[in-house]
Amino acid sequence: MNRYSPLLKKIGLKLKNILLWNLVFILLASPAAPAAQIHPEVRLKDLGRMEGIRSNQLVGMGLVLGLQGTGDKGDLVIAMLGNLTQNFGISMSRKDLKSKNAAVVTVTCELPPFARNGEKVDVTVSAVGDAKSLAGGVLLQTPLKAANGNIYAVAQGSISIGGFSASASGSSISKNISTTGRIPGGAMVERETTWNSGNGETIRFLLREPDFTTADRVALALNDRFGSVAYASDAGCVEIKIPPNFRGRTPHFIAALEKLKIRPDTIARVVINERTGTVAMGGNVRISEVAVAHGNLTVTIATQKGVSQPRPFSEGETVTLEQSLITAEEERGSLAHLETSATVDDVVKSLNALGATPRDIITILQAIDMAGALKGELVIL
């Protein structure tokens, strides 16, 4: 490294800063992207669902056996073991029951729509008490109930966990969570769910992201394809009348609906996660006229060594001294005047291409929003 390197580095940083804001100015002066590029057409089935077609949450409480001394130590597991022995016709004192190899667990799963008798679904098993690990455990037959109290499935099987836990002589080691596991295909459906398709003449389409513009576009697309059959009742629901030629064939009509292409509309939103430095934005966010300046402060601490020489005949000793030199230099920020609108997507891509860090981008976007030039919702996580 020669003596001109620091000077060249400083000149390079200043040129980079000037080029950065000149490019931002050029991008924000460019015309906005067409709406078709911002929101491409998607299938109707990707925007929402038909009313009544949904999954159902099931839950139950069961008993896991076969643990290697990592089970519960409380009274709850003793009570469940006592009930288990009585159900099998065995009568014994609960004081004689040991619980080191057993644990009380909750069993949860989601019953998918149109599940038939005999189908199997995955379940999640979680320890309730002070069990240290469910590794090697087997879940006994556990009924799973819905919110209405009816039993829709029964779970049983060996538990698979994604971690481990071990301890000896006061030391312990663990990885991931060993008190929660899964049983692939561990629940068998015992009761089917039914789909209520309304009165047989009308059905309702529910948008995943309620929006008046999108709901109106869905209704217009349906009317163009099947006649005057649909209207948007609110931002999240479209009422659809089944055409006469599809009466009694509702699944065929829904299959035809799902293939329709719709161009959805979304709220202009910028999401910032300051902890991870992540920035996510919609393509329809705009920036209006604003002036922005951004600079960096550099603090340099260097240590300089010197020698202290005593005076002649002073009987002193020569010592080495260290002196700290602290300098602070703030780079001069370039002021950019942004006159017209552009997308945040273009701005961020350009800043990123020129080496701006995510922290710089977050700071710039927050400043633009505080100035009232960010035309969209700023969400900070």
The tens digit of pLDDT for each residue in 85-141 reads 888 887 777 777 777 889 999 999 999 998 999 999 999 999 998 888 898 899 999
Q: Both 240 and 281 in a single domain?
A: no
Domain's final residue, options 211, 238, 262:
262
Q: 104 is in which domain, residue-wise?
A: 56-189
Domain's final residue, options 154, 189, 224:
189
Give, rounded to a whole angstrom, the gap between the first and last alpha carbons of the chain: 44
Residue 8: per-residue pLDDT:
41
Q: Which of 94-103, 166-175, 275-284, 353-362 has the lowest average pLDDT?
A: 166-175
Q: Both 70 and 165 in a single domain?
A: yes
Q: Both 283 and 180 in a single domain?
A: no
Q: Both 293 and 242 in a single domain?
A: no
Residue 301: per-residue pLDDT:
46
CA dihedral 23, 26, 31, 35 (to 10 degrees): 10
Q: Both 169 and 225 in a single domain?
A: no
Q: Both 81 and 9 in a single domain?
A: no
For 145-183, what is each residue's pLDDT tens digit? 999 999 999 999 999 987 655 555 555 565 668 889 999
Find the mean pLDDT for residues 269-298.
72
Among candidate residues 360, 350, 356, 250, the one with its CA nearest the CA of residue 24:
350
Residue 315 placed within a domain: no
Residue 17: per-residue pLDDT:
52
Q: Both 249 and 351 in a single domain?
A: no
Q: Both 225 and 273 in a single domain?
A: no
Task: Give the number of domains in the chain.
Answer: 3
Q: Both 200 and 159 in a single domain?
A: no
Q: Both 118 and 79 in a single domain?
A: yes
Residue 303: per-residue pLDDT:
53
For 193-206, what is each residue's pLDDT tens digit? 887 766 678 899 99
Which domain CATH number covers 235? 3.90.1150.10
Residue 20: per-residue pLDDT:
46
Residue 332 placed within a domain: yes
Q: Both 171 and 226 in a single domain?
A: no
Q: Which residue has the higher pLDDT, 37 or 274?
A: 274
Residue 19: per-residue pLDDT:
43
Q: Which residue has the higher pLDDT, 324 or 136?
A: 136
Q: 71: Cβ–Cβ under 8 A, 6 or more apart, which residues?
A: 64, 77, 99, 100, 101, 102, 103, 131
Residue 308 placed within a domain: no
